Structure 1
Amino acid sequence: MAHRKKNTPSKVQSCSRNDPVEAPVVKGPNMDSLGFLAMDSNVPGLSQVILQKLNMKSYDEYRSAMEGKKLHADFGIHSYFEMFQKMEDTFRFCVECKKLPESLPNPKSLRRCKRCQNVYYCGSECQRANWPIHKKFCKKLKLVALDRLMEWLVFTGDIPFPTTPWKKNIHEVRGWEGWFLMQDDLDAKLSSILTGRYMNILWANAGKPKPEEVELTESIKRVTTDFESRPATIGLGLHMFQIDPYAKPIVVHVVGASHVETLNARVTDYDELSHMFPKHQGIEVVMVGIDVVDNPIMRPPLVAFGPRERVYLSSYKGLYHDFWESQVETQLASRPELVVGFHPGFHACSDLMESWLPTLLLLRDYKIPSLFTVYSEQELKYSLKISMELEMRITGCGANPFASLKPEQAYSNPNKSPVYCNSHYFTFCGLSDSPDEPDVGELEGDKSEDA
């Protein structure tokens, strides 16, 4: 493959591990360059920080605990109450002075905001000083705190509820509002979750007041959209590039895929694609990334597809350009009709950009239809600028109608606008015909404004 030129963007913020780091004045929570703790690679609702609090190394250990299997000696919790308390400990620091409990004379002096049940203060002085900023986000952070607890129901199996085949074509469905209207017996499904065993366990052990039923219902919906956002976004990409799953079997590659997508994305979870395209010819989703579970791709060389109307999941542990050379070019895996990257984050620092560059150039030079998602409109603008510098032909961009409705807060700085998974997207295919940058100044539907 002859790349046109390796023109790495010059204005990318550096976050090299070799850069000197100043010692903090007070001991506070760590933060990455975006203010998030690797949010795009977390198990939903269970960050690596939380896993550490639970003395667990992986989602596998957490899942085993939920299924009642034998735990290792260092598990460190013996009840649901203790589990929820340790999860809450992750967010227990003064949002004003950033001090952690162990940095205070009395660790129990931290008090939680009664309105949002999310942020903490070490005293009334810090609370008063922080209120002018916090009041802008307090209502939104209340939703964040609630959804963070309700997301536990994903791991118990209560969420998502069984969904219904789409009664309309994807271009006729106006986002999640239209999606919920298509769901048969929606009230009964939501009621079953609200009155279920794990909902009762959650609020008997959460250490917070149980919200009203209407608040719990809306939270279930938000968490459901977060769960269904990825398969729905893949379906959106197929529609945008006019790729017809009814005409032939379709192969989709998910690049930069993390262990989350292979552990949390069971085959049945991606059956939403079958609901979007009833009676399709078969859809294979191959997840490729350095953090995926080390499984072989499902049916190399993927030329003899299985039964129709099925969605298949495979994974490959490694970088995408290595996967292409070892699997696609040797015909051990099929060339994809679509490549999707969920939150690649290559705009964040030079190290990430360097690792992504071979993949981006490969997708560009082989003219692979591609769709990438980002957390916010600002991130979209940065990503588009880099893509234009790489002379990629941008075919579309904007607010994703199937973005997650579940707000995500910056861990170490909650008092900023929350972001939403798969909030915006951009699509590209091949080399650019024009150096003009797409106009994204008038994007609509951005949910990142202040609460």
Structure 2
Amino acid sequence: MAHRNTGAAPKTGRSKKSAKKPAARAVGPDMDSLGFQAMDSNVPGLSHVILQKLNMKSYDDYKSAMDGKKKGSDFGIRTYFDMFQKMEDTFKFCVECKKLPDALPDPKSLRRCKRCQNVYYCGVACQRANWPLHKKFCKKLKLVALDRLVEWLVFTGDIPFPTETWTKPVQDVKGWEDWFAMQGQLEEKLGAVLGGRYMTLLWANAGKPRPEEGELRESVKRLVTDFHSRPVTIGLGLRLFGIEPLAKPLTVHVVGASHVETLNTRATDYDELTRMFPGHQGMEVVMVGVDVVDGPIMRPPLAALGPRGRVYLSSYKGLYHDFWEGHVETQLAARPDLVVGFHPGFHACPDLLEGWLPTLLLLRDYRLPTLFTVYNEQELKASLQILAELETRVTGCAANPFASLRPEQVYSSPNKAPAYCSSHYIAFLGPAAAEAPRVGELEGDGGD
């Protein structure tokens, strides 16, 4: 299972030039690489430990794994116990003094916090010194530690469980509570996951005691929301822009797609859109990005309309501007009805903004309905400011009712408020009009 590396560094920009601007120079750093190596600024040597435990020699090996080019045996993993142990070993460092096991007189002296089963300490002194900070996050970090183990069931196929066609109109489903209420025989479905072979194997090999059934049920539910958050957020974007799936076939571009959206993705993973919009005329979701992983959805985008009543996943490995010029403008692929970006992160640093700038201008100048998600309110405000400076018309921004409920920690610095994928969204469309409201007036606007 890959480390998601939440909070380290966002994904890279996907375009070198704008549709109506001269070409920009190629943007410098590989932000994925910088994000991986940035862990060492908090815990010196941590990136090397991760590579070592995963039987890798360099970041290039890690990147190859993220691209789906390494098999389980290539990681030096032979048993389930070995897999879970190696993963846990990459979290072993003293959260107070930042020392790794090899830097301690006794590498086995690290002890895990009994409450959260997540963070480690090299001794009582460090644990006591860290407690005033850690106690603020201990309960949440317990959920983080549990979910990263139960996530294995996503890869085995136990999660998500089979879902039902929505029995309420989309506008009446206000969030996950309403969504779960529409799932027939929910308790039986959860029980099947908890009683399944892989859940049993997990706790026989995880090196931790099996939690209570209630805790496991809630973990499975959080991971189900994490799995479905992206397709349902796309559905939210269609509603926000008044795009009607029952009226015509639709095309959605996911810009900046990477291994996060495409690693182990199956052709059926966005079928929740069909259950969300029963009777729709057909949808194609095209993953576009330089880090798209080769797999079942690595197939050319459709030039014709998608299959009626189905969601068709396809992908393009490359820059969005190249995709636009080579496929959309030549009619080898359909013009999008909606563009979505999950955590583009262009706010993070000047180099990253420079990489995203041509894409942002293309989206603005072609007046493409666009929905971007961010991790928190701080990212929301920074992104809104950039869009305002680009004179882009923001039509709405708010907390995402279909954000993932799975808490995620900053990997090398866990004692911080957990992040939640797609916690907020920004909707924008075309250039700003002279009478458009200012950014400060838009914050908190639900966009309805």
Q: Normalising by the residue count of structure 1, what TM-score does the alignment of the two structures yield?
A: 0.85
Equivalent in the alignment of 2:139 = 139
1:7-62 alpha-carbon deviations (Å, 9 max, x no partner): 9xxxxxx9997xxx9x97983536xxxxxxxxxxxxxxxxx986763336425769
Deviation at 1:153, TM superposition (A): 0.4
Question: Which residue identity does 2:439 align to in structure 1?
Answer: E
1:181-227 alpha-carbon deviations (Å, 9 max, x no partner): 00011111100011100001000111111111000000000011000
Deviation at 1:4, TM superposition (A): 7.9
Question: Which residue identity does 1:266 align to in structure 2?
Answer: R
**In 2, Cα distance between equivalents of 1:49 and 1:227:** 29
RMSD: 2.8
Equivalent in the alignment of 1:373 = 373
Secondary structure of 1:323's aligned partner:
helix
**In 2, Cα distance between equivalents of 1:110 and 1:294:** 39
Secondary structure of 1:267's aligned partner:
coil
Q: 1:209 to 1:315 in 2, by over 3 A?
A: same
Equivalent in the alignment of 1:436 = 438
**In 2, Cα distance between equivalents of 1:292 and 1:156:** 21
Q: Normalising by the residue count of structure 2, what TM-score does the alignment of the two structures yield?
A: 0.85
Q: Does 1:58 align with 2:59?
A: no
Deviation at 1:350, TM superposition (A): 1.6
Secondary structure of 1:312's aligned partner:
strand
- Residues 341, 373 of structure 1: 8 Å contact kept: yes
Q: 1:322 to 1:216 in 2, by over 3 A?
A: same
Unaligned runs of 5+ in 1: 8-13, 31-47, 66-70, 445-451
Q: 1:63 to 1:267 in 2, by over 3 A?
A: farther
Equivalent in the alignment of 2:255 = 255
Equivalent in the alignment of 1:399 = 399
Secondary structure of 1:58's aligned partner:
helix
- Residues 393, 428 of structure 1: 8 Å contact kept: yes
**In 1, Cα distance between equivalents of 2:49 and 2:329:** 39
- Residues 293, 315 of structure 1: 8 Å contact kept: no
**In 2, Cα distance between equivalents of 1:358 and 1:381:** 21
Q: 1:437 to 1:406 in 2, by over 3 A?
A: same
Equivalent in the alignment of 2:303 = 302
Secondary structure of 2:341's aligned partner:
strand
Higher mean displacement: 395-404 or 102-111: 102-111
Q: 1:60 to 1:316 in 2, by over 3 A?
A: closer
- Residues 112, 121 of structure 2: 8 Å contact kept: yes
Equivalent in the alignment of 1:109 = 109
**In 2, Cα distance between equivalents of 1:301 and 1:62:** 26
Q: Does 1:227 align with 2:230?
A: no
Number of residues paired by the alignment? Answer: 410
1:296-350 alpha-carbon deviations (Å, 9 max, x no partner): 97565522x2431110011001111111111111111111000000000111112
- Residues 68, 294 of structure 2: 8 Å contact kept: no
Question: Which residue identity does 2:44 align to in structure 1?
Answer: K
- Residues 377, 424 of structure 2: 8 Å contact kept: yes
**In 2, Cα distance between equivalents of 1:167 and 1:63:** 42
- Residues 112, 118 of structure 1: 8 Å contact kept: yes
Unaligned runs of 5+ in 2: 1-17, 25-30, 57-63
Alignment of 1:9-408 (within 5 A): 27-29=44-46, 53-55=53-55, 57-58=64-65, 65=72, 71-72=73-74, 75-293=75-293, 298=299, 302-303=303-304, 305-408=305-408
Question: Which residue identity does 1:145 align to in structure 2?
Answer: A
Question: Which residue identity does 2:429 align to in structure 1?
Answer: C
- Residues 63, 155 of structure 1: 8 Å contact kept: no
**In 2, Cα distance between equivalents of 1:181 and 1:261:** 27
- Residues 28, 93 of structure 1: 8 Å contact kept: no
**In 1, Cα distance between equivalents of 2:308 and 2:43:** 59
- Residues 301, 331 of structure 1: 8 Å contact kept: no
**In 1, Cα distance between equivalents of 2:118 and 2:267:** 34
**In 2, Cα distance between equivalents of 1:322 and 1:354:** 16
Question: Which residue identity does 1:58 align to in structure 2?
Answer: A
Q: 1:108 to 1:264 in 2, by over 3 A?
A: same
**In 2, Cα distance between equivalents of 1:389 and 1:55:** 46
Higher relative contact order (CA 8 A, sep 6+): 2
Equivalent in the alignment of 2:412 = 412
Equivalent in the alignment of 1:38 = none
Q: 1:50 to 1:221 in 2, by over 3 A?
A: farther
**In 1, Cα distance between equivalents of 2:19 and 2:303:** 26
Q: 1:440 to 1:88 in 2, by over 3 A?
A: farther
Q: 1:284 to 1:112 in 2, by over 3 A?
A: same
Q: 1:429 to 1:297 in 2, by over 3 A?
A: farther
**In 1, Cα distance between equivalents of 2:371 and 2:385:** 16
- Residues 397, 424 of structure 1: 8 Å contact kept: yes
Aligned-pair identity (%) = 68
**In 2, Cα distance between equivalents of 1:344 and 1:25:** 24
Q: 1:116 to 1:299 in 2, by over 3 A?
A: closer
